[in-house]
Amino acid sequence: MAPARNRRADHGRNRRPGGPRQTGRPQDLVRRTAFDVIRAVETRDAYANLLLPARLRDRNLTGRDAALATELTYGTLRGRGTYDAVLALCSDRELRRIDAPLLDVLRLGTHQILATRIPPHAAVGTAVELARSVSGPGQAKFANAVLRKVTTRDLDAWLAIVAPEDADVTTRLSVAHSHPKWIVSALRDALGPERAEIDALLAADNARPQVTLVARPGRSTVDELRDAGAEPTSYSPYAALLPEGDPAGIAAVREGRAAVQDEASQLVALALAAAPLSGPDARWADLCAGPGGKAGLLSAVAAGGGARLLAADVQPHRAGLVARAVDARTGVVVADGTAPAWRPGVFDRVMLDAPCTGLGALRRRPEARWRRGPEAIAELGPLQRALLGSALDAVRPGGVVAYVTCSPHLAETRVVVDDVLRKRADVERLDAPSVLAGVAPELTGLGDGPYAQFWPHRHGTDAMFLALLRRPGPDGTD
The one-letter code for the residue type at 53 is P
- The answer to whether residue 356 is catalytic is no
The backbone torsions φ and ψ at residue 314, rounded to the nearest 5 degrees and listed phi first, read -75, -20
Hey, CA dihedral for 432, 436, 442, 443, is it positive or negative?
negative
Rounded-to-integer distance, Cα 128 and Cα 449, Å: 54
Is the Cβ–Cβ distance between 469 and 403 less than 8 Å? Answer: yes
Beta strands in 4-112 (DSSP E): none
Rounded-to-integer distance, Cα 453 and Cα 191, Å: 9
Rounded-to-integer distance, Cα 211 and Cα 103, Å: 31
Is the Cβ–Cβ distance between 455 and 201 less than 8 Å? Answer: yes
> How far is Cα of residue 79 from the mean position of the Cα atoms in its chain?
16
Instruction: Sheet containing 239-242: give its strands across.
Output: 231-232, 239-242, 211-215, 258-260
Q: Which of 90, 288, 356, 406 is catalytic?
A: 406
Q: What angle do CA 423, 452, 351 make, to 5 degrees?
A: 65
Is the Cβ–Cβ distance between 4 and 27 less than 8 Å? Answer: no
Q: What is the dihedral of CA 23, 25, 27, 30, to 10 degrees?
A: -90
**What DSSP character marks residue 473?**
P
> Which residues are marked as active site?
406
